[in-house]
Amino acid sequence: MSTYAAPLNDMRFLMNEIADLKEILGFPAFSELDADTIDAILEEAAKFAAEQIDPINIIGDRQNSPKWDNGVVTVSPEYKKVYKLFCENGWHSMPGNPEFGGQGLPNLVNFAVNEMWRSASIAFALCPMLTMGAVHAIEHHASDEIKQKYLPKMVDGTWGGTMNLTEPQAGSDLTAIRTKAKPNPKGDGTYLISGTKIFITWGEHDMAENLIHLVLARLPNSDPGLKGISLFVVPKFLVNDDGSLGARNDLICSAIEHKLGIKGSATAVMSYGDHEGAIGWLVGKEGSGIAYMFTMMNHARIHVGLEGIAVAERAYQHALTYARERIQGPIIGDEDSKKNPKPILFHPDVRRLLMDMKSRVEALRAVGYFTAGNMDIAQNASDPAARKKAQSYVELLTPVVKGWSTESSIDITSEGIQVHGGTGFIEETGAAQYMRDSRITAIYEGTTAIQANDYIGRKTAREVNKETGEAGITARTLYKEIAVFADALAKDAKLGDIGKNLQEAARALIETTEWAIKTYGPQPQVASAGSVPYLKLGGIVIGGWLLAKSAQIAQKKIDAGDSNPYYKGKIATTRYYARHWLVQADAVAREIIEGGESVLGLDEPLF
């Protein structure tokens, strides 16, 4: 078995060289922080992830998963202990607003630290992630009274938070929501909520003293569409004015699901208002529930993308450890290995699998950290133009980080199993869990199809400048930036080969983007049929760009005499990626442009 070791080299490199940590630390909001403090945080987080969270991952999955009994969900003592420590050590409050007890760190730093929690255990890390999502929504949209009442205890983890969107008939389509809210006949300004919500992550558990549910529901006589949906705060235990816990609210966890993965987390069926109605408080304005959820959702999408990155990294480490230890057969083309056996790491196909895993993880991570850094710039830069550009990149890249990282993670974790051979299929080995855990990431917080339609549609073809009528400005700007970079790199004496692969790939992305902008209006089904491949194409090229930038920086360090082997490694993984992933761009572009019609070639009853 392997132990998790946070990839601090790569994290620091990306934060400093690709995501402008220095610029971010110069913003007034972060005036109390410096690079040394950040470094100390990363080191401590790495220790906590490795020593506390990583060992309980298997416990939640196969030894002592959350148990449901008559509405009560009990987690393992180990989960409870680590959750308590996590809160006590201040990790829970780290991403929070200082106004409510948080530490107000840059998104970029939270991103790196959160990667560690999720590499160690997606299931465990979902609990603080969901709570912070709820915090985010309350902070931005609820009244001061609600904020003061709930946020301090949610930020420090004493209370948990959940998001209640899905219902049996309302999955990707939230217009189908039926949960009802009606003004409390007592006239005290509260509402009575009733209905069933499903797939509520950590919807019930005994690690936190109270759970604050955010629930989407419909008020009487409201619009039947999305505009009729409002957001409510519905606590498990009502909270007295002095902050103490009052009566149990009329809500219950009526079951938890048997899932393929993330078994350490309880996925709850929540029943609201089986009796008198669950008491809730309206967040913000009536009918704005979907908009409010989307503030949280966009944030959550990037963080689910990060789950993909994190679990892929963990699977890579696990496979690498095994490949270093396991000896099996002589190595082809290596006579010496017949006498002096070498581990399977040296078999060419195991090297291919590990290179593929490593280079893809690094590409995914680069796009993730670049996006997280842009979130800080968008929120804090003094120059409005810089803020606007950064925000436009965040919006464009959010579906890529979510969709591409998660889809890739399924494949990378499967490669991790393959490195183990037969042992990988045995659950005790641990490799299979990463694949099982990864599988949900491409589904929740919007399936890949939803990310892809957001990417090709709202973020590209439908991103129209109202004054000029021009569409896809952000996409065109970014991809031009990539093409210009590639043209320059193609002339580089040492990295020109990588530059040429990137040039070709950028050309394919630009061509496909122009096609998408042209096609989306008149032939929406054809464009939509190519949306998931288009998301993949975007990921491949943007990831390749940031890897190539990294390789260029690494080469400069080497040329300046830096002997850190990390730099040599970065160039090697980039070259692998260029030859195995960037070369695919053209074929993916053809799939989209030439293949859209053929997707629609079968209809019922021919399927």
- The CA dihedral of 53, 59, 65, 67, to the nearest 10 degrees, is -90
Dist CA 528 CA 457 (whole Å) = 8
**Cβ neighbours around 429 below 10 Å, total:** 17
Footprint on residues 207-246 left by a second copy (CB under 8 A): none
Lay out the site mask for a second copy across 491-530 (x = CB under 8 A, - = otherwise).
--------------------------------xxxx-xx-
CA triplet 116, 19, 401: central angle to 5 degrees? 60
If one asks whether residue 318 binds a second copy (CB under 8 A), the answer comes out as: no
- The CA dihedral of 303, 305, 310, 312, to the nearest 10 degrees, is 170
- The CA dihedral of 184, 188, 193, 199, to the nearest 10 degrees, is 180
In the DSSP assignment, the letter for residue 96 is S
Nearer to a second copy, 42 or 174 (CB): 174
Lay out the site mask for a second copy across 145-184 (x = CB under 8 A, - = otherwise).
---------------------x----xxx-xx--------
For a second copy, the binding residue among 37, 288, 421, 487 (CB under 8 A) is 421
For a second copy, the binding residue among 354, 482, 517, 537 (CB under 8 A) is 354
Footprint on residues 48-107 left by a second copy (CB under 8 A): 62
**What length does the chain have?**
607
Tell me the C-alpha to C-alpha distance, in Å, between residue 311 and each of 75, 214, 290: 22, 27, 30
Spatial CB neighbours of 219, under 8 Å, sequence gap ≥ 6: 181, 182, 183, 191, 228, 230, 286, 287
Nearer to a second copy, 63 or 240 (CB): 63
Nearer to a second copy, 529 or 541 (CB): 529
Lay out the site mask for a second copy across 6-45 (x = CB under 8 A, - = otherwise).
----------------------------------------
Nearest distance from C-beta of residue 306 to a second copy, angstroms: 19
Dist CA 250 CA 247 (whole Å) = 9
If one asks whether residue 333 binds a second copy (CB under 8 A), the answer comes out as: yes
If one asks whether residue 432 binds a second copy (CB under 8 A), the answer comes out as: yes
Tell me the C-alpha to C-alpha distance, in Å, between residue 114 and each of 309, 360, 499: 11, 19, 32
| Total residues at interface with a second copy (CB under 8 A) | 92
Residue 21, SS3?
Answer: helix
Question: Considering only CA atoms, which of 110, 118, 109 is closest in space to residue 49?
Answer: 118
For a second copy, the binding residue among 119, 531, 550, 555 (CB under 8 A) is 531
Task: Establish whether 445 is a catalytic residue.
Answer: yes
Lay out the site mask for a second copy across 251-290 (x = CB under 8 A, - = otherwise).
------xxxxx-----------------------------
Lay out the site mask for a second copy across 562-591 (x = CB under 8 A, - = otherwise).
---x--xx--xx-xx-xxx--xx-xx--xx
If one asks whether residue 339 binds a second copy (CB under 8 A), the answer comes out as: no
Nearest distance from C-beta of residue 215 to a second copy, angstroms: 18
If one asks whether residue 601 binds a second copy (CB under 8 A), the answer comes out as: yes
Footprint on residues 436-455 left by a second copy (CB under 8 A): 436, 439-440, 442-444, 447-449, 452-453
End-to-end CA gap in the chain: 45
Dist CA 449 CA 79 (whole Å) = 34
Task: Check 395, 445, 463, 591 and give the catalytic one.
Answer: 445
**Backbone phi, then psi, for 29, in 5-degree steps?**
-60, -25
Nearer to a second copy, 174 or 394 (CB): 174
Catalytic residues: 445
